[in-house]
Amino acid sequence: MAIRSLQRSKLWSESNWLVASLRLVLIVYSLSFFVDSTSDRSNMVRLTLSSKAKDRGAFCLDGSLPGYHFHKGSGSGSKSWLLFLEGGGWCDTIESCSSRAMTSLGSSNYFKHEVAFLGVLSSDPSQNPDFFNWNRVNIRYCDGASFAGHPEAEFKNETQLFFRGQLIWEAIMDELLSMGMSHAKQAILTGCSAGGLATLIHCDYFRDHLPKDASVKCVSDGGFFLNVPDVLGNPTMESFYHDVVTLQGVDKSLDQNCVAKTEPSKCMFPQEFLKNIRTPVFLVNAAYDFWQIQNVLVPNSADPDKRWAMCKLNIQNCDASQMKVLHGFRSSLMDAIGGFHQSKDGGMFINSCNSHCQTSITESWHSPTSTRIENKTIAESVGDWYFNRKQVKLIDCPYPCNTSC
């Protein structure tokens, strides 16, 4: 955070008091910044580049090594593991993947060496009451296909990019298993956005590689992407997923029962394969997910005159006709999760907020100002479900009834 420099006073008289006052403000501000930075240091966790990735041929888009941040568990959480898969969209063309390869979403050369562990990754019991002392891992996202690309696609597309998301997932899993996860008693795979989708794609793999007597479950945050037409009636998201799957060979990582019955790219949509997942799943989703509103329902291509511009920025700016469309989007979500709602082992927290990725942020995961349904935060709801304290199937009323958003 930059501190603006203070202009020097040309006059010593009355302006002297102004300068003295400003200097005092600057000192106080600097001290508060130092304190904040020091307190944040306790949440910072260092980057580790995978030691098994090179031998497995598991590389980011640009050929650099993938990585993760690991915070060791303690006490009652020493044999419990929580893996968080980062999100960050996808790339569907050689050009977009090449651009991505020059960022932290495609190259570990741009990874931050330390990241803050907040929300579901926090070590503060007041912010993360059920999982604060578990072994917690933030797995960095650098492949552009929800950890599901395959190298065969590189040769087919004659590119120097590396489509190795599946190998990244397997290499880091092997590494964590060798670090003690193979003896886990409790485990959760989670992630947000593209990482939330990856959580669902890899949920059973995660379960199958842990001890049979371990309690293993998956929590997908903001990963239930809908296969709905945009406001002009175009299949924008379906076409996009088709290009991602075709470019990076993702079909081999998708549910094979689904792939055998339909066009493979449709199996990127959770509504098509969620019923086939054997491991218990919890869905955290905003019914008015702002990422999906901006990119699935009203992409720029479907709004050439920018009529939706203000509404896309903030749901409070939407007019009556736009809200009708957004309520319809919520109804599509309700229809898509209808069967899952009947699942005995599944859980959900579907709030009516205009947000995206809620588990990795303290304010939305568990804080005095967090969104609540039936007076429960997301953290409390996930904890109740994971530890079988109660069944959790929480669905909010339509916007704007929930004032905690």
DSSP-derived secondary structure for 43-112: TEEEEEE-SSHHHHT---TTSPPPEEEEE---GGGTTEEEEEE-------SHHHHHHHTTSTTT-GGG--
Q: What is the pTM of this model?
A: 0.89
DSSP 155-172: HHTT-SS---HHHHHHHH
Strand partners, 70: 137
Cα–Cα distances in angstroms (integers) from residue 355 to residues 38, 90, 288, 337, in the given order: 29, 19, 7, 19
Picking from 211, 216, 43, the residue whose alpha carbon sits closest to that of residue 138 is 43
Asked if the model's pLDDT at residue 38 lies above 50, the reply is no
Which pLDDT does position 31 carry in this prediction? 32
Of the candidates 64, 146, 193, 364, the residue annotated as catalytic is 193
Does residue 215 register a pLDDT over 60? yes
Determine, yes or no, domain membership for 14: no
Dihedral angle sign, alpha carbons of residues 127, 131, 135, 141: negative
User: Active-site residue 331, yes or no?
Assistant: no
Contacts of 324 (CB under 8 A, 6+ apart): none
Phi, psi angle pair for 83, to nearest 5°: -105, 130
Determine the Cα–Cα distance for residues 250 and 147; give it in Å rounded to an integer.
9
Decide if 346 is inside a domain: yes
% of the chain residues with pLDDT over 90? 86
The CATH number linked to 274 is 3.40.50.1820
At residue 100, does pLDDT exceed 70? Answer: yes
**Distance between CA atoms of 17 and 84, rounded to whole angstroms?**
52
Neighbours of 113 (CB within 10 A): 9
Backbone angles phi, psi at 188, to 5 degrees: -135, 135
98 carries an active-site annotation: no
Which of 69, 71, 356, 366 is the catalytic position? 356
Is 352 within the bounds of a domain? yes
Label residue 24 by pLDDT band (50, 70, 90).
Answer: very low
Are 285 and 225 spatial neighbours (Cβ–Cβ below 8 Å)?
no
Q: For residue 33, name the pLDDT band (cuts at 50, 70, 90).
A: very low
Whether residue 154 has pLDDT greater than 60: yes
Is pLDDT above 90 for 10?
no
Would 233 be classed as within a structural domain? yes
pLDDT score, position 43: 84
32 domain residue, yes or no: no
What is the token pair recorded at 126? 């007041």
Q: What digits encode the pLDDT tens for the residues 240-282? A: 999 999 999 999 999 999 999 999 999 999 999 999 999 999 9
Could you give the number of structural domains in the chain?
1
pLDDT at 16 over 60: no
How much is the mean pLDDT over the chain?
90
- In this predicted model, which residue has the larger pLDDT, 4 or 136? 136
Lowest mean pLDDT among 64-73, 336-345, 368-377: 336-345
pLDDT on residue 41: 63
Judged by phi (left if over 0) then psi (alpha if -120 to 50, else beta), residue 198 lies in: alpha
pLDDT tens-digit series, residues 121-137: 999 999 999 999 999 99
What is residue 40's predicted lDDT score, i.e. its pLDDT?
A: 53
pLDDT, mean of residues 187-215: 98
Strands 67-71 and 347-351: unpaired
Q: How far is Cα 138 from Cα 112, in angstroms, rounded to an integer?
A: 12
Q: Is there a domain that residue 112 lies in?
A: yes
Instruction: Say if 77 falls within a structural domain.
Output: yes
Tokens, residue 122: 């926090």
Q: Say if 31 falls within a structural domain.
A: no
Residue in 174, 205, 178, 167 with CA at minimum distance from that of residue 189: 205
Task: Please say if 193 is a catalytic residue.
Answer: yes
Angstrom distance (rounded) from CA 377 to CA 362: 11
Tokens for 228?
């709905």
pLDDT for res 156: 85
Alpha helix positions (H), 62-122: 94-100
Give every CB contact of residue 390 below 8 A, 6+ residues apart in sequence.
384
For residue 298, the enclosing domain spans 43-395
Q: Which of 92, 143, 289, 396 is catalytic?
A: 289
